[in-house]
Amino acid sequence: MALFEDTRITYADKSNKDLIRAYFLFRIISNPIVAKILTSLLKLANNLYLPIKGIVKATIYKQFCGGTSIEKSQTTIDKLWNSQIGTILNFSAESKATEADFRHTEAEIIATIKKASNSKKIPFAVFKPTAITSFSLLEKISKKQTLSKIEQEENDKFDQRINKICKTAFELKVPIFIDAEESWIQNAIDEKVTEMMKKFNKEKAWVYNTIQLYRNDRLAYIKQLLNEAKRNNYFIGLKLVRGAYHEQEIARAERFNYPCPVHRKKEDTDKDFDLAQSFCVENIDYISFCSATHNEKSATYLTDLIQENNLDKKDKRIIFSQLLGMSDNISYHLAKQGFYIAKYVPYGPVKDVIPYLIRRAAENTSIAGQMNRELSNIIKERKRRKKA
Ligand SMILES: Cc1cc2nc3c(=O)[nH]c(=O)nc-3n(C[C@H](O)[C@H](O)[C@H](O)COP(=O)(O)OP(=O)(O)OC[C@H]3O[C@@H](n4cnc5c(N)ncnc54)[C@H](O)[C@@H]3O)c2cc1C
């Protein structure tokens, strides 16, 4: 695809050492057997508290993470900004489940909002609902089951937390994404986030829900959201993604014998993703959105829609986003052409971010086409540099 092909642009700020590291990482990740063995070893070493921090930090962490703290991510933030790419700081300490963990994560999210409010290089904040409350609570609310007294208290705390985070974002004028998770906890998330949109999106979209287009009910859901927003006079914020839990969704639906909530064919997900993008552009006066994808066709499709509809490339209502360390060909080319774009930049202590990195490796292994693209782009650039 001509739009993203020039590797000089893709790797403008990468040294030869960066390219060699990325090459070996993507080689490993793209081989399912090697990736499985290495991620199992990584999990084991992490659980046994073996001294692997140094090697992880110099390799996979360096590729996919910004730094161990907000301050330590500044070099990454500045480097991206030199190429006109914003940063979305994503505190990625996963598998946290105690009240103290949730409190700590809440404080960290608030700190990212404050940081964003003082820097034009950080256009959005983000958080994942299960980082501030328990999975089991969200599951129970989603099933509309009666909560015990303790669960009710937990739910009240979750309400307070999500309110405080969204209110801070609103007051400091930092739009905020709320990530989407498994379908069996998503109803609870959708309800709370819609409540937050109603409350804080009266003048423009500050709170954004995430829509997973691998789900077969999401186009209808967006249409219903729009009707509701028009009736109640608020704006909608959406982050469009394909969805990260495809295999788990199918496995669970089969195990418990209920209708599968996700598409079974990749082309159906692709079609819905692009239909959602055009629906959002058609309704841009009500919907602000983020196209969060590594798919070149979908990114190109949106650039065409923006231009056909005579929208400004830097219109703040439409932002593109990719993950740090991935699909730089899309990010750097779109930025060079003047589109509004930011990378998700995960950060956090090395040990805490390891589960995120393992997930990244597992997810990438299943996207063989994308891994081949990363590898062939790096090889092309290495050859070009050797000749130059
Ligand atoms: C900035 C950013 C934020 C994100 N936030 C979230 C989030 O909040 N929640 C979340 O769930 N994910 C999130 N993701 C991950 C996202 O959902 C995708 O898993 C990932 O981006 C890969 O999809 P893609 O659009 O890049 O492109 P592609 O590589 O073209 O698509 C791969 C995706 O297609 C779908 N798919 C694969 N096989 C099939 C099949 N047989 N039938 C139907 N569909 C299939 C799956 O969703 C798979 O992930 C985010 C991604 C980015 C870049």
Sequential pLDDT tens for the chain (388 residues): 568 999 999 999 999 999 999 998 888 887 778 777 777 877 777 777 777 778 888 888 889 999 999 999 999 999 999 999 999 999 987 666 888 999 999 999 999 999 999 999 999 999 999 999 999 999 999 999 999 999 999 999 999 999 999 999 999 999 999 999 999 999 999 999 999 999 999 999 999 999 999 999 999 999 999 999 999 999 999 999 999 999 999 999 999 999 999 999 999 999 999 999 999 999 999 999 999 999 999 999 999 999 999 999 999 999 999 999 999 999 999 999 999 999 999 999 888 887 788 777 777 666 667 778 889 999 999 999 998 8
Residue nearest to atom 51 of ligand 1 (CA): 292
Residue 332: predicted pLDDT: 97
Spatial distance between the Cα atoms of 241 and 223, rounded to a whole number of angstroms? 16
DSSP assignment of 192-260:
HHHHHHHHH-SSS--EEEEEETTBTTHHHHHHHHHHHHHHHT--EEEEEE--S-HHHHHHHHHHHT---
- From 29, 216, 242, mutation site for ligand 1 pocket: most ligand atoms within 8 A of C-beta: 242
pTM reported for the whole predicted model: 0.95
- Asked if 149 and 91 touch (Cβ cutoff 8 Å), the reply is no
Pocket lined around ligand 1, Cβ cut-off 6 Å: 179-180, 210, 212, 214, 241-246, 263-266, 269, 292-295, 321-323, 344, 367, 370
Residue nearest to atom 37 of ligand 1 (CA): 266
Ligand 1 center–CA 241 separation, angstroms: 6
* Nearest atom in ligand 1 to 268's CA: 43
* Nearest atom in ligand 1 to 290's CA: 1
Ligand 1 center–CA 360 separation, angstroms: 12
Written as six digits, the tokens of 78 are: 């500045």
Ligand 1 center–CA 69 separation, angstroms: 27
* Nearest atom in ligand 1 to 213's CA: 47
Residue nearest to atom 40 of ligand 1 (CA): 266
* Nearest atom in ligand 1 to 265's CA: 42
Ligand 1 center–CA 246 separation, angstroms: 8
Spatial distance between the Cα atoms of 70 and 241, rounded to a whole number of angstroms? 25
- Asked if 141 and 187 touch (Cβ cutoff 8 Å), the reply is yes
Residue nearest to atom 36 of ligand 1 (CA): 266
Ligand 1 center–CA 270 separation, angstroms: 10
Note the Cα 312 to chain centre separation in Å.
Answer: 24
- As a whole number of Å, the end-to-end CA separation of the chain is 24
Domains, the chain, with CATH or none? 1-65+352-388 (no CATH), 68-347 (3.20.20.220)
Residue 191: predicted pLDDT: 97
Q: Which residues contact 112 (CB under 8 A, 6 or more apart)?
A: 70, 89, 91, 122, 125, 126
Ligand 1 center–CA 369 separation, angstroms: 13
Q: Which residues contact 135 (CB under 8 A, 6 or more apart)?
A: 185
* Nearest atom in ligand 1 to 212's CA: 11
Ligand 1 center–CA 71 separation, angstroms: 29
* Nearest atom in ligand 1 to 264's CA: 42
Ligand 1 center–CA 347 separation, angstroms: 21
Residue 29: predicted pLDDT: 80
CA-to-CA separations, 318 to 239, 246, 281, 287, 311, in angstroms, rounded:
10, 26, 9, 9, 10
Residue nearest to atom 5 of ligand 1 (CA): 179
Spatial distance between the Cα atoms of 59 and 225, rounded to a whole number of angstroms? 43
Residue 321: predicted pLDDT: 98
